Structures are given as C-alpha cells and as structure tokens.
Structure 1
C-alpha cells in the first residue's frame, strides 16, 4: 500500500457484463491481505486458523512466503500471490523456462503440496507504475512469461496473471465517466490490457478513500469516503449516474479508462482497500468498522457499481493485522482488522 493520490447497445452491455463477471470468483466472499511488515505477527498457522474461523476464504499475499503459502493452502484459503518487483527483471529476461523455474522455487507449481490447487491469481509486481518506474519495461514481458509457464503446467485456466496498480494510474477520475489512464503509462498499459483481455484476467487496482479524505477533506467529505450514502455527503452526479461513494466512483473511473482504451470487457478487482484505526482524526475503530463493514456487505449482496450494476467487484481488505514496521505516516501502521491475539480490532462480521 502507498499514500496515493480515484438493441446493439444492449447486446454490447451484456457482453461487457459477462466478461466482467467471468474472473471475479465467488461473488459473496471478500478477501483480505496479509502484510508481513510487523514485529509481533502471529504464526502462519494461527493466521490461517483465524481466517477459517471467521469464514474468510480468500487472501492476498505480497510475496510467496513458503510457510504462509503452506498454512493458508492447507486451511482451504484461495490465494492471490504477489510477485515482488525485484523479481521482474529476471522474469522478463528468462523466458517461460525461467518463469517456470521461478514458480517451482517459489513453491507455486504442482508438487508443492496443496498450494498449486489454491492459487487463483498472480499479482505480478505491486504499483510498478507509481513514482519510480524502473521495473515498468519488465512488467508485461514478466507477465507473459509467467502465463506461458502456467500454461506449461496446465494451470493457465485456474490461475490468472495480472498486476496491482496504485489508483494514481488514472490521470483523470472526476467525474468517473472522464476516467483516463496516465498518458506516460500507456506504453506499458496498452499491451497489458490486451494481455488481460486475451487471458480473462482482471485489471487490479489499490484504492484508499481514507487517504483521499485525509489529503483533501474539504473536497472529499468523510461520509463520501466512508461510502455511507448519508445525505451529508453531497452525491457526485455524472450524467444519469449518481455516486454517494468514492469507492464506486474510483472503480467506475477505472472502468471508463478501460473503455476509453477499447477494453471495456476487462473486469476490475480491488486488490487493496481499507480504513485505519489510529494515526489521524478520521482513523477510528468506528470509521474502520463502517467502511470495511460496507465492503463486506456489498460483496455478500453481489452489488456492482453505477456503471456496472449487478457486476460484483473482487475486493481484498487491507490488512489482516497492524504492520508496525511500515514506513510513512502513523496511520499506515494501523490498518489491521484483527489484533495479534486474534481478537477483532472493531465490530465486524464476515458471515
């Protein structure tokens, strides 16, 4: 996570909905991220048991930690596994054979216990196009090589390959229908979007309405950032669509940007979102419970966004535990849904 700046026609719409639904997985279940930048983290087995106890069946790992992979897979948790940025240069140059070796060394290939059977997504790099773009030229070649390696293992139908982007990948997001990608990133994004469309993988984005509110409270009211739908949050009107939620507006700005590039059938997955409990006046357990509770509820009801109604969005909450080793502002260290002892940081149900 980073502190980031959001009849023929009917047939065409149906095709978009079908394509957007294809890769979202179980529409009723929300996922959760398991960051590892903490000094007092419970064991992988304890974390896996906590997820299972709370009915959470999907997790995102930021790197293929062998102990966590084995514990989570053994507990029946479906896995989104990150490929670290620093591996991209090798994976780009090594071809499918090198990517296959990497998958085996990372414990993600068949023969690695239960892990391969639980792997659902590879998130190749995290926010590669944000700020320092050193790894950007290597991103799409690495994705292609990993996909080819998965195909060689017979896993390409089970495991989708994508990359998680900061929401700043959008140069324009207001109103949502004006969504457009940053022109400087299009050289990488356009071949990536073709790859995602060809393989049925989602476009992954990390979005934090809390940070938008914290950075600009005058223009991003708290209720709008919390997705509360309260009358105090002046809705955003965009043609015939109305937005009372910054989360919906951000997702639909990404959808509009995809459509602008000719890839309106690519689904959107939110690979990080959440609300902290300390470190800022708006970072309270009550607000975290409200925001994350609404994320769980929208997944359970299978709701979409104003631009794609009825099309559920894959969502991963950040984070399982507080990460006291994270750099940056104080609130960065307080996104945990659970405490280290397994108790909830606030009242939230995943049932």
Structure 2
C-alpha cells in the first residue's frame, strides 16, 4: 500500500517540488553503469538523460564514445580510473598522460568535473591495490594541477560502507582499525585538495540479510516511528541517513569534523533470486522515489542538517553482464531498450523507446543491460580489478561491496519523477 500518491491537479505539490533549493536538487545524481552487451548507444542515452532532467553523470571509466556523445550538452561528468591502473599512476608522467588523454582532451566541450581514482579499493579481495591508492590520488591531482585544471576538476575515490568497524547506532561510527592509517592519509588528501569523501551505501543489503529484524518502511523512507540514537539523542526515520551519519562520526573521530561526505552509490534492485528479500519493482520504485523526494524536501542528515546532500542513485540501466545474484543485473531505472523498469511517470514519447538497444561496444562491453530471464548473466568481461562488476559477489570482502556506475544531478523534470514514482 502506497503512503504517498501523486495528484495530477495538486498545484500545491508541484509548487513545493519546483521551489526546492537548487543546492539540494543539484546534489542528486545517477550512476551510468556499462557492464552489458545490449545497451543503447551513448547518443541514444543523451535524450533519455535530458528527459530525466539530469545534469550530472558518473562513469567508471573515461569512455570516449560517451564523453563525445555528451559534448556541448552541459551535463557534468565524473570519470573513473580503474583499480588496475593504480600502480602505473604512481609515475607522474603516466598520471599526466592519463589526465591529458582522458580529461583535458574533452574539455571544455564535455564538462568533466571529477576523477575517481579506483573504486572500493580498501575492501577488495585483492589487497595488492591498497598501497598504490594514496600515491595515485596525489599523482593524479598533481597532473590536474600541472595541466591547470584544478579549478575545474576534483580528485577523489569511492569506498564501500564496509570500511566501517561500527555503523549502528550512527554515533558509534568508526573506521576499521586495520584501515585507519590509510583512511587518515586519504582524509588528509581530501582536506589538502578540497575534495569530498565518497561512500557507497545500500540499505537494501541490511534488509536482505535480516528481513525479519529490519523494518522495510525504515529502509524505504516510508512513514515509520524511526529510531533514536542513544549516543546523540538524534532521531532517524530512514536507514540511509543513519549510514551517512555513521560515516560523518567516523570521519570526525579522526579529526576531520567538517569533511564533506558524498554518497557515490545507492539504489535498490527491482528483481532478485528467491533468497534476495525485498528485490521487487515496487520496493525499487519506493526507495528511489522516496530518496529523491526526501533530498528535495529537507536539508542534510540529523547530524549535519545544514550540509547539503550529494547522492548518486544506482543506476541508469540494468546491466546484463554483471556476475553474481540476479539483483546485480537489476538496479537500473531503465531497461536497455530505454523503457522504464517500473513506472517513473516521465513522458518518453519524444525519445522513441523500444528497439534493439544494441548499440553497445561488443568487444568491450560498456553499459548496463537487462536481466537474463534465467537469472544467469552471459560471460562477463574481465573487469574484476576495477571493483565495478559486482555489488555483492566475490570481488570484495563483504556482501555489500561493489557497484559501478555513473551519477547525475536531478533537476526540473526529475522533480516530477520524484512525485510520480510514488503514484498508485
């Protein structure tokens, strides 16, 4: 039963949605994952993203076809450097060559504003990447400065929520003891370069692992009595904000009280295996719709009420070549043929959805795909080192680990999406 219904004639609701602070609206994003062999061509994704009202997109590589397709659109891009390149980036010449070829080349036509160096490096099964992360961060930033792009491009790295030793209640949030030294160096890097700390957070995993103990309303932003953190006396009515504040507390415990924390990935699958509780179109619709509505209607978290939220929804498309359980391939708002996975209330008639959607690069799969009816993906590309392929598979140490994606800021039309996602 839905608790919120979109009323077509409610002028008051529309006025509320469109009068939202631009700072908050501009802080929403979407991940554009590329692990699929049936995705639409990047050119076909442009009008789709415009229809969503998106102005920011986050990639996990620096795909030339995508970056060229979005030239002169004004869309802000986050590009990614895979874990497998970290060791090479310690060399200043390699770093400068990479930034020049994958960032500067596309400026100013394509609006690239951020580089993510690696993905969830600290919680990957392969620990060999960890020693290279901090040097690579500094090397890539130095390359950005050497090319005089520091006012245009920031440098950062996303982490799994598994970097926390404790996350509940939020006031008990602390980083894992074995990672504290490395994370302190990373936080020093962010403080020195004015870049944000990125975390990937999925309340879905908490519910899936303990559906009888975790309130579904609490994880889906539905009306509920919430919980009070006994350590701070702050009230939480959704799990994502509790997770975000746990990170804020962990960061503050290391002496970085004003460090901005951005959520580089969060989402909910629309389909899953028999043991993946809650993975349904209805729940995905509620989670994403309520998330957007929540961001649009309130400032910050209970701990940081005056700090604008920066959240990237995962993902634009379903990705049919991701390994692991069925849920891995079903986080998209859209199927590869550009039809909505569930009703998001956006008029896409001018786009011309349907068709094969097969414009993807077959030799190097690079976009999210639809789920396989059998629940088993086709053979996946060997992208394991990037940490991109799996959210919950063996590419990481913990079940709530890796997702790869893009981010986009939601404005204008996305406000209608926020309301209509909750329609009956």
* TM-score of the two chains, using structure 1 as the length reference: 0.87
Gaps of 5+ in 2: 1-21, 346-413, 416-424
Quote the residue 2:385 is aligned against: none
Structure 2: distance between partners of 1:224 and 1:188: 33
Quote the residue 2:34 is aligned against: 36
Q: CA deviation at 1:26?
A: 4.4
Quote the residue 2:299 is aligned against: 303
Quote the residue 1:285 is aligned against: 281
Gaps of 5+ in 1: 1-24
Question: Which deviates further from its counterpart, 150-159 or 136-145?
Answer: 150-159
Quote the residue 1:201 is aligned against: 195
CA RMSD of aligned residues (A): 1.7
* Counterpart contact for 1:64–1:81, Cα < 8 Å: yes
Pick the aligned partner of 2:66 from 53, 65, 68.
68
Q: CA deviation at 1:174?
A: 1.0
Give SS of 1:27's match: helix
Structure 1: distance between partners of 2:227 and 2:63: 43
Structure 2: distance between partners of 1:155 and 1:105: 13
Quote the residue 1:27 is aligned against: 24
- Map 1:1-351 to 2 at 5 A: 26-29=23-26, 30-92=28-90, 94-95=91-92, 97-106=93-102, 108-109=103-104, 111-112=105-106, 114=108, 118-132=111-125, 133-231=127-225, 234-238=226-230, 239-279=232-272, 280-301=276-297, 303-348=299-344, 350-351=414-415
* Counterpart contact for 2:207–2:215, Cα < 8 Å: yes
Structure 1: distance between partners of 2:240 and 2:71: 30
Q: Deviations over 1:174-222 (max 9, x none)?
A: 1101100111112211111011011111100001111111012233221
Structure 2: distance between partners of 1:302 and 1:81: 29
Quote the residue 1:19 is aligned against: none
* Counterpart contact for 1:73–1:79, Cα < 8 Å: no
For this pair of structures, how many residues does the alignment match?
320
Q: Deviations over 1:248-275 (max 9, x none)?
A: 0000000000100001111011011001
Question: Which one has more relative contact order, counting CA pairs under 8 Å at least 6 apart?
Answer: 2
* Counterpart contact for 1:52–1:75, Cα < 8 Å: no
